[in-house]
Chain A
Amino acid sequence: MNTAVMNTAPDTGGNVMLLVLLLLPLLGALLMYPLRTNVPAAKAVAMATALLEFVLVVVTWVGYSTDAASSGERFQYVFSVPWIPAFGTHLAFGIDGIALVLIALTAFLVPGLMLFAWAEKLPEGRTASGYFALLLATQATLMGVFTATDVFLFYVFFEAMLIPMYFLIGRFGGPNRQYASVKFFLYSLLGGLIMLASLIGLYVTSADQLGAGTFTWSDLQSIAQSTPTSTQIWLFLGFFVAFAIKAPLVPFHTWLPDAGAEAPIVAAVLLVGVLDKVGTYGFLRYCLPLFPQASQILAPLVLVLAVIGIIYGALLAVGQKDMSRFVAYTSIAHFGFIALGTFAFSSQAFAGATLYMVNHGLSTGMLFVMVGLLVARGGSRLTRDYGGVSKLAPLLAGCLLLAGMSSLALPGTNSFVSEFLVLVGSFPREPVATIIATVGIIFAALYILWFYQQTMQGPVRGNAVIRALEAGGVGGPGAMIDPAVAAERGSGFPDLTRREIGVLAPLIVVIVVLGFFPGPVLDVVNPSVQSTITEVGLPDPVPAGGVVGGVR
Chain B
Amino acid sequence: MSPTNYLLLSALLFTVGAIGVLVRRNAIVVFMCIELMLNAVNLSLVTFARMNGQLDGQVMAFFVMVVAAAEVVVGLAIIMSIFRTRRSSSVDDANLLKY
A/B contact in complex, CB under 8 angstroms = no
Give the A-binding residues of B (Cβ under 8 A). none
